[in-house]
């Protein structure tokens, strides 16, 4: 895992949304917005009960991960002042995590970052998590 500077960690900690790119076995891309946290060099995103067309385990992103674990996540900032444009591109391999101490820590961090997760109807306590182990992190522009 590449080391992240304090500025990059702060940028990721303040960002509210990212975009997860997966691809199926044939290489067909699929991109969706996600909520996330970064802990100990891993990015976590829950398969919670926010409105979706199908149950979490049947989502296209989950099916894609089963066929091809290589993913990319982009966390970006747009500003009308283009000197403030910036992004972090997080590339690596993803896996699903259902329970255990690692999942508990990630859920606690998600709850701390997103107050919406105090609502038990969102199912965070039982949600599987997508975990992305970074192989490469690209930082561009103004992220400080």
- 83-106 tens-digit pLDDT: 999 999 999 999 999 999 999 999
**Fold observed for domain 6-141:** Pnp Oxidase; Chain A (2.30.110)
User: Do residues 76 and 12 lie in contact, with contact meaning Cβ atoms separated by under 8 Å?
Assistant: no
Could you say which DSSP state residue 5 is in? P
Task: Give the pair of three-digit tokens for residue 34.
Answer: 């996600």
Give the pLDDT confidence score for residue 96 in this predicted structure. Answer: 95
Q: Give residue 59's pLDDT.
A: 84
- Distance between CA atoms of residues 131 and 69, nearest Å: 10
Helix-, strand-, coil-residue percentages of the chain, each rounded to 5: 30, 40, 30
Only one residue has tokens 């979706």, namely: 52
Regarding pTM above 0.95, the answer is no
In the prediction, which pLDDT does 144 show? 72
Select, from the ranges 1-5, 32-36, 117-121, the one with the highest average predicted confidence (pLDDT). Answer: 32-36
What average pLDDT does the structure give for the chain? 91
Question: CB of 25 within 8 A of CB of 67?
Answer: yes
pLDDT digits (tens, 9 = 90+) for 31-61: 999 999 999 889 999 997 764 554 556 788 9
Q: What's the pLDDT at 50?
A: 60
The alpha helices in 48-125, defined as continuous H runs, are: 60-67, 101-113
pLDDT above 70 (res 3):
yes
Q: Please report the pLDDT score of residue 1 as a whole number.
A: 57
pLDDT at 53: 55
Instruction: Give the Cα separation of 27 and 64 in Å (integer).
Output: 9
C-alpha gyration radius of the chain? 15
Q: What is the mean pLDDT of residues 54-72?
A: 84
């Amino acid at each position: 895992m590449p080391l992240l500077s304090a500025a990059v960690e702060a940028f990721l900690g303040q960002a509210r949304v990212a975009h997860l790119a997966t691809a199926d076995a044939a290489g067909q891309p699929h991109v969706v917005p996600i909520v996330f946290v970064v802990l100990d060099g891993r990015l976590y995103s829950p398969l919670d009960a926010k409105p979706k067309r199908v149950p979490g385990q049947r989502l296209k992103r989950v099916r894609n991960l089963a066929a091809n674990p290589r993913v990319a996540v982009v966390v970006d900032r747009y500003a009308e002042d283009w000197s403030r444009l910036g992004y972090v591109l997080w590339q690596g391999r993803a896996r699903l995590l259902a329970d255990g101490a690692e999942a508990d820590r990630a859920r606690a961090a998600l709850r701390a970052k997103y107050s919406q997760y105090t609502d038990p109807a969102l199912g965070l306590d039982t949600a599987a998590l997508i975990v992305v182990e970074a192989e490469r992190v690209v930082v561009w522009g103004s992220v400080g």
